[in-house]
Structure 1
C-alpha cells in the first residue's frame, strides 16, 4: 500500500515543499475517516522531503521526532501537504507543516526534528556531518521524479535517485 505521493512544487532556496497524497478507502478507520497513522505518515513524507531537497549527494535526514496534532476528520481523496524548514543547524533541523483537505482546510499539523547524516556504503550505517547544503538534490528530484510520483516515503525519493 502506498500513500500516493505526488510532488507538486519544491523550493530548496526557501526550504519549502508542496506535495499531494491520495487517501484511498483502505486508509479508513471504522468511523469512515482516514486513520490518524496514515495522516502522520503523510506529514512525515511532507516535512522530510522539504529538508532532503536541500541536501547534496551522499546526505540524508532521517526523522528523529514527529509531533502531530489532528484538527478535523479527513475524508478519502486528495490531501495536500505543505512543509518547510523552520530552522536548520549543521546537524539538527526543525521542520513544520500541515495537511489540507480538498477544501483547503487543515486536517492535521506537525512539527518534526531531523538529523542530517552522511550515507555510508553499508546499509543502516550513517555518520553526522556539518557540510553546508546545496540545491543539487532538489534539481534532480524535479527532473527525475515524474509527477505524480509513485513513491510512498521520503526514503523512496532517495532510493529512486540511487537506482538511476
Structure 2
C-alpha cells in the first residue's frame, strides 16, 4: 500500500498536468496553483473544474493525514460555492479538518486568488480575494474499494 505520508503520495496524472502543489501542516493542507492559460475557460476565467480538482485533492490529502495508518479515503460529497471569477494569479485552497469521525471526516476549504507578485506565503485568510468556499465529507475506508488494487488503479 502507498504511504500517504510519502511526499510523492497524491502525485497523479491530473494533479501533475494541472500543476499544483500541496503544503501540509498538522491536519491542514494548502493547495497552491499558479494559474496559466490551460486553466482558463473560453471566457478567460479559471474553469470551475480546476477549482474543484484543487479542493478535492486538498481535502483528500488533509483526510489522509488524520485517519489511521493503512486506511484510505474517498470523497462522499463536496459542496463548492463559487463567489467570484478568477483570472491569472495564484490560487490557494486553505483546507482544514472540521471533524474526524470513525467513518467520515468533514472538512472546509477556502480558495483565494492572490497576485503572484504579492504572495508572501502568509496565511490564506489575510490576503487576496476569496473566490470559493467548500465543505466536504470523506469516507474512511479500511481497504481499497472492490476492483481497485492496493497500489492504486485497477
TM-score of the two chains, using structure 2 as the length reference: 0.71
Separation (CA, whole Å) in 2 of partners of 1:124 and 1:30 = 36
Q: Kindly tell me: are residues 125 and 72 of structure 1, through their superposed partners in 2, closer, same or farther at Cα, counting changes over 3 Å?
A: same
Separation (CA, whole Å) in 1 of partners of 2:63 and 2:23 = 15
Question: Offset at 1:107?
Answer: 0.9
Q: Kindly tell me: are residues 121 and 72 of structure 1, through their superposed partners in 2, closer, same or farther at Cα, counting changes over 3 Å?
A: closer
Question: Offset at 1:105?
Answer: 1.6
| Root-mean-square deviation (Å) | 2.4
| Structure 2 equivalent of residue 134 of structure 1 | none
Return 5+ residue gaps in structure 2 as ranges: 1-13, 116-127
| Structure 2 equivalent of residue 97 of structure 1 | 109
Question: Offset at 1:114?
Answer: 0.5
TM-score of the two chains, using structure 1 as the length reference: 0.67
Q: Kindly tell me: are residues 84 and 122 of structure 1, through their superposed partners in 2, closer, same or farther at Cα, counting changes over 3 Å?
A: same
Question: Offset at 1:86?
Answer: 0.8
| Structure 1 equivalent of residue 125 of structure 2 | none
Q: Kindly tell me: are residues 27 and 73 of structure 1, through their superposed partners in 2, closer, same or farther at Cα, counting changes over 3 Å?
A: same
Q: How many residues align?
A: 125
| Structure 1 equivalent of residue 21 of structure 2 | 6
Indicate if the aligned counterparts of 1:3 and 1:22 stay in contact, CA closer than 8 A. no
Instruction: Find out whether 1:106 has 2:106 as its counterpart.
Output: no
Return 5+ residue gaps in structure 1 as ranges: 127-157, 160-164
Higher relative contact order (CA 8 A, sep 6+): 1
| Structure 2 equivalent of residue 82 of structure 1 | 94
Instruction: Find out whether 1:119 has 2:143 as its counterpart.
Output: yes
Question: Offset at 1:49?
Answer: 1.0
